[in-house]
Amino acid sequence: MTDGILGKAATMEIPIHGNGEAGQLPEDDGLEQDLQQVMVSGPNLNETSIVSGGYGGSGDGLIPTGKSFSCAGRGVGGGPQRCLMYLRETGVRELGPLGSGRHPSHSATPAGPGDEVARGIAGEKFDIVKKWGINTYKCTKQLLSERFGRGSRTVDLELELQIELLRETKRKYESVLQLGRALTAHLYSLLQTQHALGDAFADLSQKSPELQEEFGYNAETQKLLCKNGETLLGAVNFFVSSINTLVTKTMEDTLMTVKQYEAARLEYDAYRTDLEELSLGPRDAGTRGRLESAQATFQAHRDKYEKLRGDVAIKLKFLEENKIKVMHKQLLLFHNAVSAYFAGNQKQLEQTLQQFNIKLRPPGAEKPSWLEEQ
């Protein structure tokens, strides 16, 4: 199509006045429309050629753009008009600039596979952004309507109560975790103080013969307290680590599913409201198509909402069972270890650690790998 347009433009006669200036071209509505269509389609004009033999002409008379052409060189006289008539008669298809016998050529090259792929990727990205914008607008509108009491929302009372209970439980367990970490820090400081005090008593027992026995008793007592304290510290660390896993991993994973469920609920209500508004509007050919599209989109969001609601219910059930099992073991450990420590029962304290398979690391030892902790 582009070659035909350019061929038409090239075969038009350009009247030349005596002063060498080109006259006005006759108006051609068909050419103007074709040029507008070419501009809209956006042809690639990287290569150059002008067709002067009409659309579909033969390739005879093609002059490479790298060479100059001159009518005088071919024995044609009579001025520019005679030269143009000669060119049309001989069917020359490429010309250079007027001054050198050459015109810059303009041939449209077809779009390659790479251009088509780029257009496809750009179109996909545009569709994604468009869908995201529409979805965000609808959800924001629904959220504001709910906040200001002008919109309705879907509520599962039993599930909402369980979710709120989970959030409250997580806040309380986080408080217990914070207090457990504080207890660990205080026990560690106490052990450091008792160890230093035991060393001081042992040193004084060697340098004070008259108080050697008394200093010796106190040094042994502090060493025994340090040993029991290290055992208690190991039990408390195990307790804190288990609570941390329960709060930051198990509960958090369930709450992430809850957030997805709440987002799906908002989308479901937003598209439900949109469908209800379209259903109440006038029924014509355009509205019927939009209504069918809205119905399909609403059904997709409804399925997503139902699936996530089921996932949340299952995770809440498993979380409750896991929480009871873990906390039963950890609370028993904490009680037995603290009771044995303050009772001074070293044997019972050691038995408590053996019962729960807790191994103490010697001072200065590196932390075991996660495989060793399994």
Residue 293 confidence (pLDDT): 87
pLDDT tens for each residue of 155-202: 899 999 999 999 999 999 999 999 999 999 999 999 999 999 999 999
Residue 145 confidence (pLDDT): 85
Percent of the chain with pLDDT over 90: 36
What band does 336 get if pLDDT is binned at 50, 70 and 90? very high
Q: What's the average model confidence in pLDDT over 306-320?
A: 95
Answer whether 330's CB lies under 8 Å from 324's CB. Answer: no
Instruction: Note the helical H segments in 15-111.
Output: 29-41, 79-90
The CA distance from 180 to 187, in Å, is 10
Burial class (CB in 10 A: 0-12, 13-18, 19+), 6: buried
The CA distance from 187 to 230, in Å, is 9
Burial class (CB in 10 A: 0-12, 13-18, 19+), 209: exposed
The CA distance from 5 to 41, in Å, is 13
Answer whether 273's CB lies under 8 Å from 142's CB. Answer: yes
Q: Which of 14-23, 194-203, 347-356 has the lowest mean pLDDT?
A: 14-23
Which residue has 């270890």 as its token pair?
337
Answer whether 91's CB lies under 8 Å from 50's CB. Answer: no
The CA distance from 322 to 311, in Å, is 16
Residue type, 151: G
Residue type, 278: L
Instruction: Output 170 or 32, whichever has higher pLDDT.
Output: 170
Residue 279 confidence (pLDDT): 83
Taking CA 19 as the corner, what is the angle to CA 16 and CA 20, rounded to the nearest 5 degrees? Answer: 45
Q: What's the average model confidence in pLDDT over 130-134?
A: 84
What band does 361 get if pLDDT is binned at 50, 70 and 90? low
Residue 271 confidence (pLDDT): 87
Answer whether 190's CB lies under 8 Å from 232's CB. Answer: no
The CA distance from 98 to 234, in Å, is 96
pLDDT tens for each residue of 207-257: 888 888 888 999 998 998 898 999 999 999 999 999 999 999 999 999 999
Kindly tell me if the per-residue pLDDT of 35 is higher than 50: no
Kindly tell me if the per-residue pLDDT of 79 is higher than 80: no
Residue type, 100: S
What band does 100 get if pLDDT is binned at 50, 70 and 90? very low
Answer whether 8's CB lies under 8 Å from 85's CB. Answer: no
Q: Please state, rounded to an integer, the average pLDDT across all residues of the chain.
A: 75
Instruction: Output 27 or 232, whichever has higher pLDDT.
Output: 232
3-class SS of residue 260 = helix
The CA distance from 201 to 57, in Å, is 114
Answer whether 69's CB lies under 8 Å from 92's CB. Answer: yes
Residue 147 confidence (pLDDT): 84
Q: What's the average model confidence in pLDDT over 8-23?
A: 41
The CA distance from 56 to 59, in Å, is 9
pLDDT tens for each residue of 262-306: 999 999 999 898 888 888 877 777 778 888 888 998 899 999 999
The candidate with the shortest Cα–Cα distance to 348, out of 228, 184, 188, 223, is 228
What is the token pair recorded at 84? 């143009």
Kindly tell me if the per-residue pLDDT of 83 is higher than 60: yes
Residue 12 confidence (pLDDT): 44
What is the token pair recorded at 298? 């609403």
3-class SS of residue 107 = strand
